[in-house]
Structure 1
Amino acid sequence: MSGSPAILRASRHEGASIIRTTCPYCGVGCGVLAAPDGKGGVTVTGDPDHPANRGRLCVKGAALGETLATDGRLLAPRINGAEAGWDAALYLIAQRFARTIAMHGPDSVALYVSGQLLTEDYYVANKLMKGFIGSANIDTNSRLCMASSVAGHRRAFGTDTVPGQYEDLELADLVVLVGSNLAWCHPVLHQRLLAAKAARGTKIVVIDPRRTATCEGADLHLALAPGADAHLFNLLLCHLFDRGRSCTDFLPRLTGTDVAVAAARTSRAEDTGLSPADLDGFLALWAGTEKVVTVYSQGINQSDSGTDKVNAILNCHLATGRIGRPGMGPFSVTGQPNAMGGREVGGLANMLACHLDLENPAHRAAVQRFWASPTMAERPGLKAVDMFRAVEDGRIKALWILHTNPAVSMPDADRVARAIASCDFVAVSDAFGSTDTARLAHVLLPATAWGEKDGTVTNSERMMSRQRAFLPAPGQARPDWWQLAQVARRMGFSGFDWTSPAEIFSEYAALSGVAGALGSDFDISGLRGADYEALAPVVWPLAARKGGRFFGDGRFHTPDGRGRMVPVTARLPEATSAEHPFRLNTGRVRDQWHTMTRTGLSSRLSQHLGEPYLEIHPADAARLGLAPAALAEVTSPQGRAILRAMVSDAVAPGHPFAPMHWTGETAPSGRVDALVAAVTDLVSGQPASKSTPVAIRPFSAGWYGFAVSSHDLAPACDYWAKAPVVGGVQVELAGACAPDDWADWASRLFGTAPTAAVSDPGRGTHRFAFAQDGQLKGAVFVARDPVLVARGHVASMLGKAESGALAGRPGADQPDPGPTVCACLNVGLNSILRAIAEGHALSVQSLGEALGAGTNCGSCRPELAALIHRHSHREAAE
């Protein structure tokens, strides 16, 4: 096993019980120490003994203790909106599924699950659907983030296997980051990489059309033409063979070399959009560095040719034999905490448990015998986009959605929401009953959340870790595996009588032994019967001789044992149209996660980037007449969104960027996936979420507003975006038409008359305060242009004396810190700029010494470096 055998479920530390568990966010799989205070509160710190993070946490992980409140939780089952008992809800799901199957066949029902599930949950769902219902109509939101990597691995290696380990980032001499904003999306891995750069001079190359935070720590940023990744790696493959850099010892272990190189020669240097000097420099650097790791993520996967892009990268590593050895190899980093666990149990519609092949009769028969199941799915089921199309046209008549929010996160999200709403029967298991998807369900089941869940997860390097419960489940919430098993039993199926996740894990480990006997790479049968409570982080394969890596010995999981070079004929995205001349790129921000059901509960996580925005190039903004901080109306053939304009040369002209986190609960007009076309990769079925043609124009706002309130607000206007603050909420507002009576409008917004008001109708400014017993309960500021007030200061006045609230700014003796940059220590932009201007902070280190910024989790360090670079005339040095 990897890691210390002393990693136990609990230990004593300073008089508190410390629970060792795993962070529920990205695929890094960081270990955390949770110390409950016995009153519902929890202190969360990084686990110094966990091999993935060695005590580090990003700001999201560090704020986990702030996201555990049960306010707003779904606490009891509901049927058609009315509270019901578990028996009634489970019986109804079982009855509707059984009746639908009897009338229309097993393919008329489906499960849509999530990388937020634990492995044991995933295993039960896969067993129920494929082995007992007899359909492979089970897919996962992981289809949206790593399916192309899975498909590329299977084409090249014969199985979905990540070759390397995290430590390869620290052993490499060159790390190439392709389509990966590692600094924001996998911050702990980025900090490990920067530490290696500082310690041993590791060179870092970032390949990305955007200049992201990750570029700040790089030696070279290649602003590749959007979509040209396969062209670049095809040119690299040709360079390797033309310059004699391929590995003559490794090539006999491969097939398809000649056709792969021939296909690569169709790519041209001009297709990359790079200067000859940058292109030649990169090719020479990659070819001339033996220890090279190529990390890739959503910028590669989320494409209509994502699988080919993956194989273009893999081809270069295979051709040079730079794979499966220390400090070298291709590395897919996953976006979800248990995307890998889902892949291992066959949670995707085209896979079988334990890396077995759904379309292999011998594999199906072996699994069916092990499960003693009455039937077995014989062909792949519907992948996510096709699944919801089948819901829309009535082929799928009963749907169960677990721990995900497809009415927001799927491409063409409005269409998906309509499809769910029209489905004959929909069950949703979630911790919250107010999500966009949960509101469409006939049956809602209260699920346990992080802190209450017990099981295992697998991170991006194949490390399995325990996620342990340290809080009681609120109300009637129950684990997902229990819900699935209870429905299975009510449908008359045997083999679902587990009483704990430990029993499920033991069965799963035993099945992996069957898979291993059939030649699968995934065999954890050595863990069967292990002390589940004390299970330490462990990387599979368990055989020590592997060293945690695959394929360095030239042995692959293909029928002939050889790796496959795949011919890739690269192409660029189709041209945009006059109606939709921009190509929208979507992604994540640093401090939020998915649709914010968890991170959205933390006030400090909402202070960095608190509303949906459109990052657009200055030339595009000028041509459109779109001013900074104004609102942009973005339309596509699929939908419409209103987003705050962020004018920045970090994006290329014609290629704006927008984050995907906001929902109907937080910003109804900011649901970005409503814009995204449901175009998919033909091999993997993964949606192309980074290249949707859109039109942009200024939103004709007649007024803008900003409000803070100690109670929730329900605005009724064209645009609003809500975020938590300490003691309440803050809301950005805007509308096309101004009301006739602003005081009446403010009274309706807050449900009471204002206690103070300042208006200047000539300038179009109006300010209203709402107080009780002299303490501020709310305030709203209105102007014709984006409201200029010190938002953090105004929010901080909630619950304090009303006097001075409508000034909107602190007094002269209280400098405004400005928008938050370092969320850990609440250091604002204005404070940082003052320190730079005064000459006190000309490096990230000195800025940390002066203000503390960047000294905790380090997630903001790239942004600090960029600020120093832009606002200082002296070179910034780490």
Structure 2
Amino acid sequence: MACENRTTCPYCGVGCGVIASVDDAGTVTVRGDPEHPANFGRLCSKGSALAETLDLDGRLLFPQINGQRSSWDAALDLVAERFSDTIAEHGPDSVAFYVSGQLLTEDYYVANKLMKGFIGSGNIDTNSRLCMASSVAGHRRAFGSDTVPGTYADLELADLVVLVGSNLAWCHPVLYQRIAAAKASRPTMKVVVVDPRRTATSDIADLHLAVRPDGDVALFNGLLAHLAETNRIDEAFVGSHTSGLAEALIAASPLSMAALSEATGLSGLSIRQFFWLFADTERVVTCYSQGVNQSASGTDKVNAIINCHLATGRIGRSGMGPFSLTGQPNAMGGREVGGLANMLAAHMAIENADDRDRVQRFWKSPRIADRPGLKAVDMFDAVADGRIKALWIMSTNPVVSMPDADKVKAAIDACPFVVVSDMQGDTDTGRLAHVLLPATGWGEKSGTVTNSERRVSRQRAFLSGPGEARPDWWHITEVARRIGFASAFDFASPADIFAEHAALSAFENDGSRDFDIGAFAAIDEDQYDDLRPFHWPRPATGEMSDRFFSDGRFYHPDGKARFIPVATVPVSEQAGFILNTGRVRDHWHTMTRTGKSARLSAHMAEPYCEIHLLDAADHGVGHADLVRITGQSGGEVIVRALLSDRQARGSLFLPMHWSDETASAARVDTLVPSLTDPVSGQPALKQARVSLERYSAGFHAFLVTRNRPSDLPFSYWATAKTEGGYRLELAGDEPDGGFGAWLSRSLELGADVDMVAYADSTSGDSRILAFDDTNLLAAIFVSRAPVAVSRQWAVDQLNVDHGDRLARCRLVAGRPETNRPDRGAIVCACFSVGVNDIRRAVDHGCRSVEAIGEALAAGTNCGSCRPEIRRILDAQPLLAAE
């Protein structure tokens, strides 16, 4: 009999509801929660594979001090002692917390309370700084508060959805499918995608604007000027509820159409088409994400978008408004509790003396931070130069994710005292810790998260924490008690913390602050356990609304919104390629969770660089070649080249997921300098300048193996988990003694292993296969050029009976037998459907994405593979046209 638990997905900011079932044998299965209003039962490929990520491989199971197992008391006493001694000798600003959007709100709350209210420093910042700080800054400048006005329902009610810097199909697939379904049912609905790349999201676009990097301000400034010139300004709304339009128009007006085309890289026809579409459509939602935020002008981009909505009064009503899509599951919750260095809890302002006094009185704290702390980039600069001498990193991996990542790695390595709380023990960051604290993870911990539409949902535990792992809030409160703040951190459960968080939001709040969940200030354990998803605000008394600003009242002292004059960013004339970093469809951040799922690695199994075909030709780069990419500060990566006409010329796209655990040299943020937005402090992770060259190797190889090799003496390697083992891409010089000797040595193959080998001295191709009884233990395919073998077919051989010795010899050919069809590269990760499966379905009469779904199920779960299925269909026009 299975026990069902309603919880939420731990990945992106959509905040999907999940039903996790645990049967009597302890087996976990997951499905989407049909009652959760964020996803109504739909999950993306990552969410669907959550049960596959719950193993204990690599889990940190007990505290460690300097790499040696310790007791909890010893570890916590040491953390408290070192932080206390550092503060006593060097002051509160000599210590810092770097936290994460992966934390639950209750974890975030106690960390912020300890640092700002009891240690007395603002030095707590979060990896959410890297994804949504510019949205926060833009909201506060425009609205007087960090308020997301609308809800997901607006995406379906809009007549025009503008997606700016957002590959929604891959990064927020469930929202993408909600829009796609709305468009299918109401064909008059229009979608515009503003993105330098033609991504999978463009599949539903009526207009794709391949804007130049950092051309967004010019585009929306031009739109604002157009709205004024064509008398589309809502004079009544602007006059009653805003200020500053004249100044914003002066900043927006100077560009001619020719200059606007130059600044945006768009044709005048495309620009006019977009302007008239926006002007003529009342119900417009403009969604923006990392392509807007991760820029040195990110805050100005946000305000340029908001300006256009304020000018037309398209805010606070159904089916319209600016909409920030957060990247992490609880970035919003972190904002609510003051997890950013420049904020206080409950959306109060650290620079406001009245707010500081209010929070200090509520907490009854001995001190309160009297100024903003160091934002992420500045924080690690302070670690590097010695100002910060004790650092606690919680649930994040900055050695991989921070810009100028090599500098960050060196800074952490040199810091006198580093604590890392994490689920996994051997991350790039965890290896630098003096103290490692084992944290519980998804399925094991309990608390709340807030998604991009301000909806608070419960994340519930349905598994026991393994070993000695404990929740993050417990780590923090235990250290706070040992420092001497026991009475203020006397929390027995997450429910206690949530109740205090809710009470603070309502404390002396007469409606002047947007964040108010005072209705839950007296919540008890049973009510907390039963808590259903809700939008804030939820004040204890008064009216509640899912949508902000419907009354035209904003949170500046005069109640009016502000137009923000923003200057157009000059076109950059620097040499080299523009680097655009981002995500792939089926992986999350640094893959400490999704990397455990074999099917999530099947679609994109190694780090790559997407480069335009003509740029590749100019640099002598061919299909599947390796390329070396070098940053201006000297960092470099070696990755696979993916040639594509979807990539704009002069730009490169590199995913950010690979770390030193999964590849030899693929930490992409080593290429990105520490350039930040001057208002928000958010790094410009999408506009680094880099150079590219083809990387020559003496050999290339592809290896499938049941066990991961113990050593990888190659200049290039990348590894991913598969069903039954691992797959590796290798390149460099031949190992000592040859590949056979290396395989035997690194895989510890016994003398009784049956080795089948083939070598061609002319071509340089060779293959070695190792069998034990009826099982394939390992197969390596070696060539002087990139290896031409079906990866998925080779991976599948790990799970096939190989008792026929004659058939073993045929495997050396690297081709499937006729009775064992090759699936080809995986397209649909949800159902492990390959490109060859789809082509065969086309041959048998499937002529549409829907028909493919009926035949193979591909594209029927999260739907994020549907654009790729459509491209496969389009590549066979004669068959599809029959």
- TM-score (norm. length: structure 2): 0.96
Gap change, CA 1:636 and 1:736, over 3 Å in 2: farther
**Secondary structure in structure 1 of the residue aligned to 2:112:** helix
Alignment map for 1:386-405 (pairs within 5 Å): 386-405=378-397
Q: Does 1:513 align with 2:518?
A: no
AA aligned to 2:853 is G
Amino acid at match of 1:801: H
Deviations 1:749-786 (A, max 9, x none): 32336622211222111211222224211111111011
Alignment of 1:66-465 (within 5 A): 66-201=52-187, 202-252=189-239, 253-267=241-255, 268-270=259-261, 271-465=263-457
Whether the 8 Å CA contact 1:216–1:866 is kept in 2: the answer is no
User: Matches of 2:603 and 2:508 in 1, distance apart?
Assistant: 47
- Structure 1 counterpart SS, 2:730: strand
Over the matched positions of the two proteins, sequence identity in percent amounts to: 60
Q: Residues 423 and 269 (structure 1 numbering): CA distance in 2 closer, same or farther, change over 3 Å?
A: same
Kindly indicate whether residue 492 of structure 2 is the aligned counterpart of residue 499 of structure 1. Answer: yes
Q: Which residue of 2 aligns with 1:5?
A: none
Structure 1 letter corresponding to 2:537: P
Query: How far does residue 497 in structure 1 lie from its aligned partner after superposition?
Result: 1.1
Does the 8 Å CA contact 2:2/2:24 hold for their aligned counterparts?
no
Counterpart contact for 1:707–1:779, Cα < 8 Å: yes
Equivalent residue number for residue 654 of structure 1: 650
SS for the counterpart of 1:310 is helix
Question: Structure 2 CA distance, aligned partners of 1:460 and 1:833?
Answer: 38
Shift of 1:40: 3.5
Residue 751 of structure 2 is aligned to residue 751 of structure 1: no
8 Å contact kept, 1:776–1:801: yes
2:516 to 523, 534, 540: 523
Q: Provide the residue aligned with 1:772 in structure 2.
A: 772
1:9 maps to none
**Matched residue, 2:836:** 830
Residues 746 and 768 of structure 1 are in contact (CA less than 8 Å); yes or no, is this contact kept in structure 2? no
Q: Trace 1:361-760 onto structure 2 (pairs within 5 A).
A: 361-493=353-485, 494-514=487-507, 516-517=509-510, 519-530=512-523, 531-542=527-538, 545-572=543-570, 574-577=572-575, 581-638=576-633, 639-713=635-709, 714-736=711-733, 741-752=738-749, 755-760=755-760
C-alpha contact (below 8 Å) 1:60/1:605 kept by paired residues: yes
Alignment match, 2:20? 34
* Letter matched to residue 825 of structure 2: P
Query: 2-side partners of 1:217 and 1:569: how far apart?
Result: 32
Larger deviation: 15-24 or 479-488? 15-24
Deviations 1:596-631 (A, max 9, x none): 010000000000011100000011100111011010
Superposed displacement of residue 39, structure 1: 3.1
| CA contact 1:31–1:47 (8 Å) conserved in 2 | yes
State whether residues 399 and 429 of structure 2, in contact with CA within 8 Å, keep that contact through their aligned partners in structure 1. yes
Secondary structure, in 3 states, of the residue corresponding to 1:116? coil
Conserved? CA contact 1:662–1:668, under 8 Å:
no
Q: Distance in 2 between matches of 1:320 and 1:515?
A: 34
Deviation track 1:203-243 (CA, whole Å, cap 9, x = no partner) reads 11111110000001111111112210010000100111111
Q: Residues 281 and 518 (structure 1 numbering): CA distance in 2 closer, same or farther, change over 3 Å? A: closer
The one-letter amino acid of 2:415's match is: C
Single out whichever of 383-392 and 750-759 deviates more from structure 2. 750-759
Please say if residues 585 and 657 of structure 1, whose CA atoms lie closer than 8 Å, have aligned partners that are also in contact.
yes
Number of aligned residues: 859
Distance 2:194 2:692 in 1: 27
Deviation at 1:835, TM superposition (A): 3.2
| Conserved? CA contact 1:703–1:738, under 8 Å | no
The CA deviation at 1:81 is 0.2
- More displaced 10-residue stretch of structure 1: 244-253 or 157-166: 244-253
CA distance in 1, matches of 2:31, 2:873: 29
Give the counterpart letter for 2:821 in structure 1. P
CA contact (8 A) 1:702 1:738 kept: no
Q: Secondary structure at the match of 1:797?
A: helix
**Over residues 479-505 of structure 1, what are the superposed CA-to-partner deviations in whole Å (9 max), with x where a residue is unaligned?**
000000000000011310111000000
**What is the letter of the counterpart of residue 707 of structure 1?**
L
Contact 1:515 1:522 in 2 (8 A): no
Partner of 2:135: helix, strand, or coil? helix
In structure 2, C-alpha distance between the alignment counterparts of 1:635 and 1:801, rounded to whole Å: 45
Q: Matched residues in 2 for 1:458 and 1:852: separation?
A: 32
* Alpha-carbon offset, residue 738 of structure 1: 6.6
**Structure 2 CA distance for partners of 1:509 and 1:75, relative to 1, 3 Å:** same
Q: Structure 1, residues 125-172: CA drift from partner, whole Å, max 9, x if none?
A: 000000000000000000000000000000000010000000000110
How far apart are the structure 1 equivalents of 2:793 and 2:880? 33
Residues in 2 aligned to 1:600 and 1:876: alpha-carbon distance in whole angstroms: 39
Q: Which amino acid aligns with 1:498?
A: F
Amino acid at match of 1:404: T
Which digits, 9 at most, give the CA deviation of each residue in 1:495-526, with x for residues without a partner?
10111000000011110111523721111011
* TM-fit CA distance, 1:861: 1.0
Q: What SS does structure 2 have at the residue aligned with 1:148?
A: helix
Unaligned runs of 5+ in 2: none
Compared with structure 1, are the counterparts of its residues 856 and 83 closer, same or farther at alpha carbon in structure 2 (3 Å cutoff)? Answer: same
Q: For residues 46-86 of structure 1, what are the alpha-carbon distances to aligned partners after superposition, in whole Å with 9 as ceiling and x for unaligned?
A: 00000000001001101101111112110000000000000
CA distance in 1: counterparts of 2:25 and 2:417, whole angstroms: 40
Instruction: Answer yes or no: is the 8 Å Cα contact 2:664–2:715 preserved in 1.
Output: no
Specify the code of the residue in structure 2 equivalent to 1:652: A
Q: Unpaired segments of 5 or more residues in structure 1?
A: 1-14
Mapped partners of 1:349, 1:564: distance in 2: 24
Aligned to 1:808: 814
- Report the residue type matching 1:521 in the other structure: D
Q: Distance in 1 between the 2:508 and 2:429 partners?
A: 36
**Worse-matched range after superposition: 410-419 or 753-762:** 753-762
**Which residue does 2:39 correspond to in 1?**
53
SS at match of 1:100: helix
Once residues 529 and 770 of structure 1 are traced to their aligned partners in structure 2, the CA distance between those partners, rounded to angstroms, is 64
Aligned to 1:871: 876
Q: Kindly indicate whether the alpha-carbon contact (under 8 Å) linking 1:321 and 1:552 is maintained by their aligned counterparts in 2.
A: no
Q: CA shift at 1:678, angstroms?
A: 1.2
Cα distance in 2 between the residues matched to 1:720 and 1:728: 16
After the TM superposition, which of the residue ranges 531-540 and 825-834 deviates more from structure 2? 825-834
CA distance in 1, matches of 2:99, 2:135: 19
Letter paired with 1:104: H
CA distance in 2, matches of 1:741, 1:144: 45
Give, as a single letter, the amino acid of the residue that structure 2 aligns with 1:623: D
Distance 1:737 1:640 in 2: 23
CA contact (8 A) 1:135 1:376 kept: yes
Counterpart AA for 1:124: V
Aligned partners of 2:878 and 2:161: how far apart in 1? 29
